[in-house]
Amino acid sequence: MKRGTGRPQRVGDQIQRELGDLLTRELRDPKVGLITITAVDVSPDCSHAVVYFTCLDSSHAPEAAAGLRRAAGFLRSRLAKRLKMFTTPELRFTYDESIERGARLSRLIDGASGTGKGQ
């Protein structure tokens, strides 16, 4: 995930806030469930946005991703009403494995250093 400081970064931050609100208040798809938007990367021309999400149960991720793909048009239309932009970015949802990977590495480090909970 490349992070910048210009307009695409600010648009991504705004999209992240608005999507979080839309997912909790307006999206009624039970297949999506409880997810967290971790980051949004917007293309330099602000025409596309990759939305990274995570969920508590990683086995639920494919089902949540499918639900988000189905709801992408609805979410984009709601974003268009909230954002003051000429063109609302096209949304593409991707499961963010970084939190799960970080927890796994932390467990491996704890086990290798002998500071695990079992000792």
- Which of 82, 76, 69, 57 has its CA nearest to residue 29? 69
- E strands, 56-96, where? 90-95
pTM for the structure as a whole: 0.81
Residue ranges of domains in the chain: 7-113
Joined tokens for residue 80 = 């268009």
**Out of 3.30.300.30, 3.40.50.970, 3.30.300.20, 3.40.50.300, which CATH number does the structure's domain 7-113 have?**
3.30.300.20
- Per-residue pLDDT of 27-67, as tens digits, reads 988 888 889 999 999 999 999 999 999 988 888 899 999 99
Q: What is the pLDDT of residues 53-105, one digit of tens each?
A: 998 888 889 999 999 999 999 999 999 999 988 899 999 999 998 877 877 88
Q: What is the CA radius of gyration of the chain?
A: 17
